[in-house]
C-alpha cells in the first residue's frame, strides 16, 4: 500500500521531468549558495534539457550562482556587501574541520547566527520586494524547487501558492519528520551530528535524546525570524513546521547505504545517486604491505 502510494506520488511529481512528451513546465528554483547550488545546478541543467523552463532566483550578492545558458537568472538587491557575505562563508568553512565537540558546537552556533542573519536579511528583502513578487506571481510557475535548509524558498512557494519540491541533503532538528508527521523513534534513529549509529548503548541513547535539545536552540535562533516573517505575510500565526509542511515532495540526496535507515513518508524520495553524476575513476593508492 505504502509502496503503491509512493509510486503514485513519484509518478505525479516526476511528470515534470520524466514525460518527454509533456508540455514544458515552468520551474522557479530558489537555491542556497555554496555547494548546495552545485548539486542543484545539475538538476536545473537536466530540467532544461528536457524542455522545461527554469528561473533561478538569487540575491545579487552571492558566491556561485552565476548566469548560465540553461536557466534565466533573476536577482534581487540586498543590503549587505559581497565582502561581508564572503567572510561568513569563509568562517563557516574553517569551522567544519574542527573536531573538538564543544568548540565545534559553540562555533556552529556563532557561525549559524551570523549566516542565518544574512540569509534572513535577504529573505526578508525578497519577500518585501513587491515589484518582484508581483512579477513572480504573474509568471505562474508550476513548481518551486528549493533546499528547505534555508526556508525562504518554501516560504516564497507558500506565499505564491505554488507547490514546492524540496531538494536536500538533510535538515536539522528533525524538521522533515515534523513537517511530514513521520514517525521518529529516538531509540533507533541516530540524531544528526551525534555520531551515534542505529545500534546504541544506553548512554548513547541518552545522548541521542539530549543532543536535539541543543540543536533546537540553534534552530530556534536560525528559524524563528522566518516564522515571524511568515506570520506577518499571512496575517496569522505561522510556524516553521507550517511553512515546511507546504512541501509536496522531499528529495533527499542520501541513501541507506550512506545513511542509517529511518522511517520515511510516501512523499520522501532518496536520490543519493545524484551525487555521483560526475564520477571519476578512483586513483590508485598504494597501501603497504599490499604494494608490489
Ligand atoms: C560573526 O559576526 C561577528 C560580528 O560581525 C564577527 O566578529 C565574528 O567573527 C563572526 N563569526 C563567525 C563565526 O562568522
Ligand atoms: C497573485 O495573483 C493573484 C491573482 O491576481 C492574487 O489573487 C494573489 O493575491 C497574488 N499573490 C501574491 C502573493 O501577490
Q: Average pLDDT of 170-183? A: 92
**DSSP class of residue 233?**
H
Q: Angle at Cα 121 formed by Cα 118 and Cα 122, nearest 5°?
A: 90
What pLDDT, in 10s, does the model give residues 39-86?
Answer: 899 999 999 999 999 999 999 988 889 999 999 999 999 988 888 888
Q: Which residue's C-alpha comes closest to atom 3 of ligand 2?
A: 137
Q: Is 213 within a domain? A: yes
Ligand 1 atom closest to Cα of 111?
Answer: 13
Q: Is 291 within a domain? A: no
Alpha-carbon distance 46 to 233, whole Å?
A: 34
* Residue 195: CATH number of its domain: 3.40.50.2000
> Looking at per-residue confidence, does 146 or 116 come out higher?
146
Q: Which residue's C-alpha comes closest to atom 4 of ligand 1?
A: 114
Q: Is 9 within a domain? A: no
| Domain region containing 245 | 23-275
Shortest-distance ligand to the CA of residue 80: 1
Q: Average pLDDT of 176-192? A: 90
> With a 6 A CB cut-off, is 103 part of the ligand 1 pocket?
no
Q: Angle at Cα 144 formed by Cα 219 and Cα 275, nearest 5°?
A: 70
Q: Is 75 within a domain? A: yes
Alpha-carbon distance 153 to 165, whole Å?
A: 10
Beta bridge partners of 270: 252
pTM of structure: 0.81
Q: Is 232 within a domain? A: yes
Shortest-distance ligand to the CA of residue 137: 2
In the chain, how many domains are there?
Answer: 1
As for ligand 2, residues whose beta carbon falls within 6 Å of it are 133, 137, 159-160
**97-111, 208-222, 240-254, 263-277: range with lowest mean pLDDT:** 97-111
What pLDDT, in 10s, does the model give residues 224-245?
Answer: 899 999 999 999 999 999 999 9
Q: Is 292 within a domain? A: no
Q: Is 251 within a domain? A: yes
Q: Is 269 within a domain? A: yes
Nearest to 176 by CA among 167, 211, 207, 90: 167
> Looking at per-residue confidence, does 223 or 240 come out higher?
240
Amino acid at each position: 500500500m505504502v509502496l503503491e502510494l509512493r509510486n503514485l506520488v513519484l509518478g505525479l511529481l516526476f511528470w515534470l521531468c520524466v514525460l518527454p512528451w509533456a508540455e514544458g513546465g515552468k520551474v522557479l528554483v530558489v537555491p542556497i549558495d555554496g555547494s548546495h547550488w552545485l548539486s542543484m545546478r545539475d538538476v536545473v541543467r537536466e530540467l532544461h534539457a528536457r524542455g522545461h523552463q527554469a528561473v533561478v532566483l538569487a540575491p545579487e550578492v552571492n558566491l556561485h550562482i552565476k548566469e548560465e545558458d540553461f536557466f534565466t537568472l533573476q536577482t534581487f538587491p540586498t543590503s549587505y556587501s559581497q565582502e561581508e557575505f564572503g567572510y561568513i562563508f569563509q568562517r563557516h568553512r574553517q569551522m567544519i574541520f574542527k573536531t573538538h565537540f564543544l568548540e565545534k558546537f559553540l562555533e556552529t552556533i556563532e557561525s549559524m547566527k551570523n549566516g542565518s542573519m544574512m540569509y534572513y536579511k535577504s529573505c526578508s528583502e525578497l519577500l518585501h520586494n513587491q515589484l518582484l513578487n508581483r512579477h513572480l506571481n504573474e509568471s505562474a510557475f508550476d513548481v518551486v524547487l528549493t533546499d528547505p535548509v534555508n526556508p525562504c524558498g518554501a516560504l516564497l512557494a507558500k506565499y505564491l501558492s505554488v507547490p514546492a519540491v524540496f531538494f536536500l541533503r538533510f535538515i536539522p532538528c528533525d524538521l522533515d519528520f515534523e513537517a511530514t508527521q513521520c514517525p521518529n523513534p529516538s531509540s533507533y534513529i541516530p540524531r544528526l551530528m551525534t555520531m551515534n549509529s542505529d545500534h546504541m548503548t544506553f548512554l548513547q541513547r541518552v545522548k541521542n535524546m539530549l543532543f536535539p535539545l541543543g540543536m533546537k536552540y540553534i534552530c530556534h535562533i536560525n528559524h524563528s525570524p522566518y516564522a515571524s516573517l511568515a506570520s506577518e505575510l499571512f496575517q496569522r500565526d505561522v510556524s516553521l513546521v507550517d511553512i515546511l509542511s507546504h512541501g509536496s515532495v522531499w528529495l533527499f540526496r542520501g541513501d541507506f547505504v550512506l545513511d542509517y535507515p529511518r522511517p520515511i513518508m510516501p512523499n520522501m524520495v532518496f536520490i543519493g545517486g545524484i551525487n555521483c553524476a560526475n564520477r571519476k575513476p578512483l586513483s590508485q593508492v598504494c597501501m603497504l604491505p599490499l604494494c608490489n
